[in-house]
Amino acid sequence: MDFNSTVKGSLLEGFYPKGWDMKKIDRCCANKPADVVKPQPFWHKGFRPVPCADVQEFDVKMGHEIANEIRKAKDAGQKIAFILPVGPMGMYKWAVYFLKEWNVDCKHVWCFNMDEWADAKGNTLVGDASFQHAMEEAFYDPLGALTVPKDHRNFATKKNLPTYPAKIAALKKEGAKLVLVYGIGRMCHIAFWEPMIGAEFKSDAEWKRQEYRIAVQLHPLTIEQNAITSFKSRTTLVPCRANTIGPALMFQADYAIGGADGALSRGMMWQGMSLWMTLRYGPTRFVTSSWMPTLPGRLFFLKELAGPLVAEAN
């Protein structure tokens, strides 16, 4: 007895994206934990998953990866642009630590926050719960004199998000390297590019041309994920929409740094299935994160997320 044998006629029938093959997802999750790093035919030859023993190791390695990209660009006299998430967050304090240790400033760095909470008109959240505040508190302010110049920082407001494509194109034309930093959502979104959006397009190619979206509707499980991870379980505080970048900006990245740290406590987790879908489902517009292995880069993840993903008595 399981989901597939009981879903018909239940409240969950039609709840998940139309493009999701639940039997295929089940097969993805049934792989042996040791096989999680085994390369697949659709992976880019420069893509590598990196298991981490605990959150401390995860944060340090992700922070080092970000700081090292900044340092390498500085040494090469090259501009570098980052598309950045608010989550995972522990990486930022370590990126700050390494940059300060190396005394590397960020005058050559441009940053584009990938998303922001919004209302139905695309007006964005302000204050302590906003992604802009989180970035300033975790990354920009602690860097002090080494920080990213204010006019190099971009946030996903209704006015500024539409300027991202031209700004990024201009930077790349000047030789800048584009680095995508990302986390994987419970619904396998990257940024807030939700899997339901895939049904709006007739092909993956058309879907991949989308640059951004203002006031995108968020999946109920995305709301609940954020209630758990960001709002102390208080669903009533979570906005139901967001502004977000789209595939056309994500997938032009020259390098990608990913993170999956969604373990809870007492053996519970929320990100194991999302990790396996990312690594095994195969590229499709219905599973946004399934495209991440097609980019060169590293995906850092907590080793326990690989499972085995089996039921346990509670």
Quote the pLDDT of residue 156. Answer: 98
C-alpha separations of 56 from 59, 70, 154, 256, 297 in Å? 5, 21, 29, 21, 21
Which residues contact residue 236 at a Cβ distance below 8 angstroms, ignoring those fewer than 6 apart?
none
* pLDDT digit string, tens, across residues 24-46: 999 999 999 999 999 999 999 99
Residue range 46-51: average pLDDT? 98
* pLDDT digit string, tens, across residues 148-196: 999 999 999 999 999 999 999 999 999 999 999 999 999 999 999 999 9
Residue range 78-92: average pLDDT? 97
pLDDT at residue 18 tops 90:
no
**Mean pLDDT score of the chain:** 96
Q: 35-283 has which CATH code?
A: 3.40.50.1360
CA 129 to chain centroid:
18
CB atoms within 10 A of CB 100: 15
pLDDT at residue 48 tops 60:
yes
Domain range summary for the chain, segments of one domain joined by +: 35-283
Fill in the DSSP letter of residue 193: B
Which run of H or of E encompasses 217?
strand 212-217
Look at 313 and 124; give whichever has higher pLDDT.
124
Question: In which order are the strands placed within the sheet that holds 241-245?
Answer: 115-118, 241-245, 212-217
pLDDT confidence tier of residue 99, bands split at 50, 70 and 90: very high
CB 100 within 8 A of CB 146: yes
* CA 194, 196, 202, 204 torsion-angle sign: positive
Residue 47 and residue 38: Cα distance in Å, rounded? 11
Residue range 272-291: average pLDDT? 98
